[in-house]
Amino acid sequence: MTGENAALDPAAKDKPLLTVSLVIYRPDTNALTATLQSLSKAMRQLDASRCKVFVIQNCDTGGVAPLLGANLNGIAFDLRQGHGNIGFGRAHNLVLKDTGTFHLVLNPDIEMAEEALTRGLKFLEEHADCGLITPHACWPDGSRQFLCKRYPALFDLLLRGFAPVFLKNRFSGRLARYEMSEETGEDVVWDPPIVSGCFMLFRGEIYRQLDGFDPRFFLYFEDFDLALRTGNITRTTYVPAVRIVHEGGHAARKGVTHIKLFAKSAILFYKLHGFKLF
Q: Is residue 40 part of a domain?
A: yes
Q: What is the pLDDT of residue 211?
A: 98
Alpha helix locations (H) across the chain?
Answer: 3-8, 29-43, 64-72, 88-93, 116-126, 154-162, 165-170, 172-178, 204-209, 222-231, 256-273
Alpha carbon 107 to its chain's center: 6
Q: What is the pLDDT of residue 14?
A: 75
Torsion of Cα atoms, 19 then 40 then 56 then 253, to 10°: 120
Q: What is the pLDDT of residue 114?
A: 97
Is there a contact between 6 and 40 (Cβ–Cβ < 8 Å)? no
Q: What is the pLDDT of residue 238?
A: 98
Q: Is residue 162 part of a domain?
A: yes
Query: Measured on CA atoms in the order 205, 209, 215, 221, is the torsion positive or negative?
Result: negative
Look up the pTM and report it: 0.93
Q: Is residue 96 part of a domain?
A: yes
Q: Is residue 193 part of a domain?
A: yes
Q: Is residue 32 part of a domain?
A: yes
Cα distance between residue 71 and residue 183, in whole Å: 36
Q: What is the pLDDT of residue 61?
A: 82
Q: Is residue 278 part of a domain?
A: no
Q: What is the pLDDT of residue 7?
A: 38
Cα angle value 67/111/163 (rounded, 5°)? 115
Q: What is the pLDDT of residue 6?
A: 37
Cα distance between residue 83 and residue 57, in whole Å: 8
Is there a contact between 10 and 86 (Cβ–Cβ < 8 Å)? no
Residuewise pLDDT in 10s, the chain (278 residues): 333 343 345 455 678 999 999 999 999 999 999 999 999 999 999 998 999 999 999 998 888 999 999 999 889 999 999 999 999 999 999 999 999 999 999 999 999 999 999 999 999 999 999 999 999 999 999 999 999 999 999 999 999 988 999 999 999 999 999 999 999 999 999 999 999 999 999 999 999 999 999 999 999 999 999 999 999 999 999 999 999 999 976 555 668 998 999 999 999 999 999 999 99
In total, how many domains does the chain have? Answer: 1
Beta pairing partners, 145 = 137
Q: What is the pLDDT of residue 250?
A: 56
Residues 6+ apart with CB under 8 A from 180: 146, 148, 149, 150, 189, 192
Q: What is the pLDDT of residue 178?
A: 97
Q: What is the pLDDT of residue 3?
A: 35
Residue span of the structural domain in which 98 resides:
3-273
Q: What is the pLDDT of residue 1?
A: 39
Q: What is the pLDDT of residue 189?
A: 98
Q: Which CATH number do you get for residue 58?
A: 3.90.550.10
Q: Is residue 91 part of a domain?
A: yes
Q: Is residue 23 part of a domain?
A: yes
